[in-house]
């Protein structure tokens, strides 16, 4: 029996070698044939053959172990497939569950995405600042600096190890843990540190309590949902409205259109996919996004991106066309509204195929974008801007409350969230303001100025009124709870920790409380910031000393040298660390897997850990594949946007 196993292993090994050799020769032959078709010489054909031959093992391995499983997982994401059971095609149902946040696993996925966003929005900036600070400390030629650099980099080697993460679990113990004991001793020794320590506890618990309240499914936030777009509007429109107008402001307006437009289109597409049957609005939104990307890249004469976007968009629309006919059993009348939407969406994408881009082409594409926007607007009006919902805007513009029945808990919980305007309209309004400001530009300066002032005043009133109404909304819940003698669940964690300042000898509950679990993980990440430090250190070494000397001659101080010389010169390293940090934060898994506890598993769960649980623990291959593809799309979109808006990065010629 043992000899038979050895023989089988030898045969498998020989078969693998033969397979690699044969596929490599085939790949080399294909490469030679393609080069020959392009009319290259015999010498170039031989070079292509031998180059592809030696790259053959990697190429075949890529298709077998990367491309193949990727396509299979895409297929599985449209199925109800549990390991050991038959595969059943269910279409978009997995995506509907996850994107809508409905049901047990939809709610868990939503919470996991909120946690991943937390790691990216808070953890990445802190890690970048830590890495840069360490690099600047170590960018000095002093005795023993190499030893210090080794010590600072050592956590990178140790951080991912289970033993070290388990050690962190012991150090973060609430009672008797090294971290809390050390902090308490410092607090007992220095009264100022004690106050700052308790202030830190107060701030962390308040912010995390608020974040948890925002992330909880079914916990309504009332008018607060309008405060966020109002503040974003002030942040984006304020710099455009005040000060001298220039080309930089126009570029900022178009950048706002591009970023916010892509986000809104992504939200519309996700909502369209979630709806059952699929809402045709997403088809128009997809076409509008493609047209916008093409126009913006055409303005910068990036014709390769324009053509690639056009081909990809038309290909996806063609696939949707075939799938629609198949779903309707090839009966056009059964899927007429979807087919009409696909045809209308394809028309503006076909226009640039005929002739070169010109001023007329730009006008036609802009008209197409306006038409698509109007179609979306008209389709979304029912249930959004009718039924008296516009009265909310009038009330907020006159500093009145939009809450009709403040003492009715059913109204506050169930009616108000669905009886008011969607916040997407206000985000869309920001988009429209930026677009009109960019179009007015220098041709109508007075009209542009008055228009921006009016828009700024609108969002200022919206922010003030919605914030005041939010306070009344929360107080209404408290009054109802007091009258009924029942505890008020609404933002309960937030109220619990903001009502009183932490008492003396209060300690953080690091890994036993959902308010501290995510900060604990971020602290461990900051401790292992040596990889980013190394990149920054290499960049700092490349900054010419003569620039600092010239700045000193001109009388620049340390802060001016840092912001005017150091940051621009190390911007490529900063950009690299940001991109890698965002991707890593969305893929957080190992630390969650090891440091989680039964009390904090839900609050620590990342998107990567969710898909691991669904795929490898619960064996729900279909839903796990859908979660992985949603995560892939988000990572690719964020990375592409970062590269798209990386003009602040200074590359030396």
The last residue of a domain, from among 383, 399, 425: 383
Is residue 447 situated within a structural domain?
Answer: no
Residue 479 has a pLDDT of 79
Sign of the Cα torsion 423, 428, 434, 437 reads negative
Rounded CA Rg of the chain: 29
Alpha-carbon distance values, 401 to 65, 181, 584 (Å): 59, 49, 43
Is residue 131 situated within a structural domain?
Answer: yes
**pLDDT tens readout for residues 135-170:** 888 887 777 777 877 777 777 777 666 777 788 888
Same domain, 21 and 109: no
**pLDDT tens readout for residues 258-270:** 888 888 877 777 7
Question: What is the percentage of the chain residues whose pLDDT exceeds 70?
Answer: 93
Please tell me the distance from the alpha carbon of residue 282 to that of residue 92, in angstroms, as a whole number: 14
Angle value at C-alpha 271, between 270 and 275, nearest 5 degrees: 120
Same domain, 290 and 366: yes
Is residue 203 situated within a structural domain?
Answer: no
Residue 490 has a pLDDT of 58
Same domain, 252 and 354: yes
Residue 544 reports pLDDT greater than 80:
yes
Same domain, 334 and 282: yes
Q: Return mean pLDDT, the chain.
A: 83
Nearest to 610 by CA among 622, 591, 628, 598: 628
Please tell me the distance from the alpha carbon of residue 214 to that of residue 210, in angstroms, as a whole number: 6
Q: Are 409 and 378 in contact (CB under 8 A)?
A: no
Residue with structure tokens 């498998």? Answer: 12
Q: 591 phi and psi, to 5 degrees?
A: -65, -40
Confidence of residue 214 (pLDDT cuts 50, 70, 90): confident
- Strand-pair partners of 399: none
Query: Residue 295 belongs to what domain range?
Result: 246-383
Same domain, 324 and 365: yes
**pLDDT tens readout for residues 7-56:** 877 888 888 888 888 888 998 889 888 888 888 888 888 888 898 889 88
**C-alpha neighbours within 13 Å on the C-beta side of residue 22:** 6
Nearest to 523 by CA among 125, 126, 135, 112: 126
Total domains, the chain? 3
Helix, strand and coil percent figures for the chain, each rounded to 5: 75, 0, 25
User: Residue 384: is it exposed, middle or buried by C-beta count within 10 angstroms (0-12/13-18/19+)?
Assistant: middle
Number of Cβ within a 10 Å radius of residue 465 = 24
pTM score of the predicted model: 0.82
Q: Are 269 and 316 in contact (CB under 8 A)?
A: no
391-429 burial code (b ≥16 CB/10 A, e <16): ebbeebeeeeebbeebeebeebeeebeeebbbeebbbbb
Q: Cβ neighbours of residue 246 under 8 Å, at least 6 residues apart? A: none
Same domain, 61 and 100: no
Stronger pLDDT, 189 or 335, i.e. the higher one: 189
Is residue 147 situated within a structural domain?
Answer: yes
Please tell me the distance from the alpha carbon of residue 132 to that of residue 577, in angstroms, as a whole number: 10
Same domain, 43 and 159: no
Q: Are 400 and 309 in contact (CB under 8 A)?
A: no
CATH number of the domain enclosing 165: 1.10.3720.10
Is residue 452 situated within a structural domain?
Answer: no
**pLDDT tens readout for residues 346-389:** 888 887 776 677 778 888 888 888 888 888 877 776 666 655 67
The last residue of a domain, from among 358, 383, 408: 383
Please tell me the distance from the alpha carbon of residue 500 to that of residue 106, in angstroms, as a whole number: 35
Nearest to 465 by CA among 234, 221, 223: 223
Please tell me the distance from the alpha carbon of residue 197 to that of residue 202, in angstroms, as a whole number: 9
Please tell me the distance from the alpha carbon of residue 599 to that of residue 555, in angstroms, as a whole number: 56
Instruction: Catalogue the long-range contacts made by 410-413 (C-beta closer than 8 Å, 24 or more residues apart).
Output: 412/220, 412/222, 412/473, 412/476, 412/477, 412/480, 413/220
Question: What is the percentage of the chain residues whose pLDDT exceeds 90?
Answer: 9
Residue 417 reports pLDDT greater than 80:
no
Please tell me the distance from the alpha carbon of residue 326 to that of residue 335, in angstroms, as a whole number: 10
Same domain, 101 and 153: yes
Same domain, 273 and 162: no
Please tell me the distance from the alpha carbon of residue 625 to that of residue 614, in angstroms, as a whole number: 9
Q: Cβ neighbours of residue 431 under 8 Å, at least 6 residues apart? A: 256, 257, 260, 261, 264
Nearest to 620 by CA among 607, 611, 629, 628: 611
Is residue 166 situated within a structural domain?
Answer: yes
The last residue of a domain, from among 76, 104, 119: 76
**C-alpha neighbours within 13 Å on the C-beta side of residue 315:** 6
- Range name among 371-385, 566-580, 591-605 with the lowest pLDDT average: 371-385
Is residue 498 situated within a structural domain?
Answer: no
Q: Where are the alpha helices (DSSP H) in 77-223?
A: 93-100, 103-118, 124-138, 145-159, 162-171, 178-189, 191-215
Q: Where are the alpha helices (DSSP H) in 275-358?
A: 281-299, 303-327, 336-350
Please tell me the distance from the alpha carbon of residue 185 to that of residue 190, in angstroms, as a whole number: 9
Q: Which of 96-110, 214-228, 373-387, 491-505 has the highest mean pLDDT?
A: 96-110
Same domain, 290 and 257: yes
Residue with structure tokens 């819940």? Answer: 477
Same domain, 539 and 614: yes
Same domain, 379 and 253: yes
Is residue 588 situated within a structural domain?
Answer: yes
Q: Are 149 and 138 in contact (CB under 8 A)?
A: yes
Please tell me the distance from the alpha carbon of residue 288 to that of residue 366, in angstroms, as a whole number: 10
């Amino acid at each position: 029996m043992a000899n038979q196993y050895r023989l089988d292993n030898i045969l498998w090994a020989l078969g693998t070698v033969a397979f690699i050799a044969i596929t490599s020769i085939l790949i080399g032959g294909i490469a030679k044939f393609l080069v020959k078709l392009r009319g290259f010489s015999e010498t170039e054909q031989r070079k292509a053959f031998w180059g592809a031959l030696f790259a053959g093992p990697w190429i075949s391995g890529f298709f077998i172990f990367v491309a193949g499983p990727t396509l299979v997982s895409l297929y599985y994401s449209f199925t109800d497939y549990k390991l050991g059971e038959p595969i059943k095609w269910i279409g978009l149902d997995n995506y509907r569950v996850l994107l809508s946040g409905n049901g047990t696993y939809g709610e868990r996925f939503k919470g996991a995405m909120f946690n991943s966003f937390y790691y990216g929005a808070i953890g990445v900036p802190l890690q970048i600042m830590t890495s840069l600070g360490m690099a600047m400390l170590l960018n000095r030629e002093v005795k023993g600096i190499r030893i210090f650099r080794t010590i600072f980099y050592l956590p990178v080697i140790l951080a991912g190890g289970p033993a070290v993460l388990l050690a962190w679990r012991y150090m973060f113990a609430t009672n008797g843990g090294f971290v809390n004991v050390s902090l308490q001793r410092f607090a007992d020794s220095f009264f100022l540190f004690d106050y700052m320590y308790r202030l830190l506890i107060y701030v962390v618990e308040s912010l995390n309590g608020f974040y948890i309240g925002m992330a909880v499914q079914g916990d309504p936030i009332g008018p607060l949902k309008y405060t966020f777009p109002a503040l974003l509007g002030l942040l984006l429109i304020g710099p455009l409205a005040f000060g001298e107008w220039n080309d930089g402001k126009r570029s900022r307006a178009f950048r706002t259109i591009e970023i916010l437009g892509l986000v809104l289109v992504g939200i519309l597409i996700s909502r369209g996919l979630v709806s059952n049957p699929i809402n045709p609005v997403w088809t128009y939104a997809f076409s509008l996004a493609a047209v916008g990307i093409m126009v913006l890249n055409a303005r910068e004469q990036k014709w390769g991106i324009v053509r690639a976007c056009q081909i990809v968009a038309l290909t996806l629309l063609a696939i949707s066309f075939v799938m629609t006919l198949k779903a309707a059993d090839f009966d056009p009348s059964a899927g007429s509204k979807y087919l009409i939407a696909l045809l209308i969406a394809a028309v503006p994408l076909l226009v640039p195929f005929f002739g070169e881009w010109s001023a007329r082409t730009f006008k036609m594409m802009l008209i197409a974008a306006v038409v698509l926007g109007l179609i979306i607007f008209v389709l979304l009006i029912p249930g959004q801007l009718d039924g008296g919902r516009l009265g909310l805007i009038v009330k907020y513009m006159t500093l009145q409350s939009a809450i009709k029945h403040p003492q009715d808990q059913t109204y506050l919980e169930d009616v108000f969230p669905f009886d008011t305007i969607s916040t997407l309209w206000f985000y869309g309004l920001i988009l429209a303001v930026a677009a009109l400001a960019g179009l007015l530009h220098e041709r109508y300066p007075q009209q542009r100025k008055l228009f921006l002032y009016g828009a700024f005043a609108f969002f200022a009133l919206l922010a003030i009124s919605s914030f005041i109404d939010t306070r009344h909304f929360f107080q209404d819940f408290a009054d109802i709870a007091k009258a009924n003698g029942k505890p008020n669940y609404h933002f309960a964690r937030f109220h619990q920790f903001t009502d009183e300042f932490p008492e003396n000898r209060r300690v953080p509950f690091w890994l036993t409380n959902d308010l501290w679990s995510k900060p604990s993980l971020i602290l461990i990440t900051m401790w292992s910031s040596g990889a980013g430090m190394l990149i920054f250190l290499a960049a700092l070494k490349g900054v010419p000393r003569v620039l600092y000397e010239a700045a000193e001659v001109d009388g620049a101080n340390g802060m001016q040298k840092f912001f005017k010389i150091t940051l621009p010169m190390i911007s490529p390293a900063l950009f690299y660390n940001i991109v890698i940090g965002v991707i890593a934060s969305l893929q957080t898994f190992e630390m969650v897997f090891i440091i989680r506890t039964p009390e904090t598993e839900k609050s620590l769960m990342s998107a990567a850990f969710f898909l691991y649980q669904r795929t490898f623990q619960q064996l729900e291959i279909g839903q796990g594949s859908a979660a992985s593809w949603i995560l892939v799309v988000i990572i690719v979109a964020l990375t592409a946007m970062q590269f798209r808006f990386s003009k602040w990065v200074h590359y030396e010629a």
